[in-house]
Amino acid sequence: MTRHLPVLLALVAAFSVHAVHAVHAAEPAAAARMGAYYGDKATEYPAWFKDSFLNLKEDIDEARQSGKRVILMFTQNGCPYCAALVERSLSQREIEATMKEKFDVIAVNLWGDRPVVGLDGKSYTEKTYSAALKIQFTPSLLFFDETGKTVLRLNGYVPPTRLQAALDWVGGRQERKIAFRDFVAAREVPEQATGEMIREDFFLKNATDLRRRGKQARPLAVFFEQKDCPDCAVLHRRVLADPETRNVIAKFDNVQFDMWSRTPIITPEGTRMAIRDWVRQLGVHYAPGIVLFDPAGREVIRWESSFRVFHTTGMFDYVVSGEYRREPSFQRFLGAKAEHIRKAGQDVNIWRYADEPIAPTAR
């Protein structure tokens, strides 16, 4: 990841005030020191991944003849979320067995230069094909059916239980019978969910009209959650508790919805519908999910993985700074942000929770 940073310094001026506040407050002596970079991790992918020539139509045809389907796994060097996928998920016996039996798994480097023949028959490199598919997170998994249609896309790291659900749904051809969100819910959501969702002081109360109006309209963050949601608790207590994250979130209109609610709302596009129907239309598969809209009501990016502080804060900053209009790659934006902070003498840890120090302790 860090090898791409030097070419990205032109983005620095666009960063929002909160991203550099600590830098301005630093002592002059600190600015002369290059900040440390923590959290990147090398990943060794399983030997049973397919060694593909990256002619994707041929890959899908070969998989079909074997009764399998294709998964494209987009990765990048130094990605801790990719390492977590391999170490926590692919190392589990059931996940590995399901993948080997029902899928051909092909790794694609987000920044790679190997030639790719896309499903459209056009020639790309790995990095230009990743850009064409608008891959913003690694790992991202694209699941294809026998015709080359993308039946499911997982953007970013998901925990083992949800990865297994995706493998069972796609591998079992369940897309013909049940929506993925309902398939996941049948496994994860209690029939009689109890308790309350976790509230925050930055959530607007009783917000049902999400249209963005006027020249002073703010960007919008919609938090889709549910009751009895352990992953929602991690989001609130270990990510949203971070002071810098809360500062940038405060620049949005923030609403929290139960993703299964039948309460009617008016969407940013001006359509009146029940929350659960909007969730289905958006393609939000599970809680928690955060969808970020710009001041014009257009979706920019969404949080639907187990991200930690740096990437979560970066998503909000990407929108509120307006940099999404100039830089289509969220990963390049993050790289430039990290480089800028480090050049000002501040340390960066891309793999920390809010309750952990920036500099990891030795173990």
At 188 the pLDDT is 81
Q: Which long-range contacts (CB under 8 A, 24 or more apart) does 90-94 make?
A: 90/46, 92/160, 92/164, 94/164
Domain ranges of the chain: 1-33+193-363, 56-177
Averaged pLDDT, 310-334: 98
For residue 13, pLDDT over 50 is answered with: no
Averaged pLDDT, 216-235: 95
- Which pLDDT band, with edges at 50, 70 and 90, does 362 fall under? low
Cross-strand pairs, 71: 105, 143
The answer as to CATH 3.40.30.10 being correct for domain 1-33+193-363 is yes
User: HEC profile for 272-291?
Assistant: EEEHHHHHHHHCCCCCCEEE
Q: How far is CA 70 from CA 17, 60, 321, in A?
A: 44, 6, 37
Range with lowest mean pLDDT among 4-8, 85-89, 207-211, 272-276: 4-8
Distance CA 281, CA 158 (A): 21
pLDDT above 70 covers what percent of the chain? 89
Distance CA 35, CA 348 (A): 7
Averaged pLDDT, 219-235: 95
Distance CA 337, CA 312 (A): 13
Query: Who contacts 330 (Cβ-Cβ below 8 Å, separation ≥6)?
Result: 136, 137, 301, 314, 315, 318, 324
pLDDT above 90 covers what percent of the chain? 85
- Which pLDDT band, with edges at 50, 70 and 90, does 189 fall under? confident
Of 345, 346, 267, whose CA–CA distance to 33 is shortest? 345
Asked if residue 220 lies in contact with residue 252, where contact means CB atoms within 8 angstroms, the answer is yes
For residue 28, pLDDT over 70 is answered with: no
At 32 the pLDDT is 62
131-180 pLDDT tens trace: 999 999 999 999 999 999 999 999 999 999 999 999 999 999 999 999 99
Of 314, 317, 333, 352, whose CA–CA distance to 38 is shortest? 352
| 191 burial level (CB within 10 Å; 0-12, 13-18, 19+) | exposed
CATH topology of domain 56-177: Glutaredoxin (3.40.30)
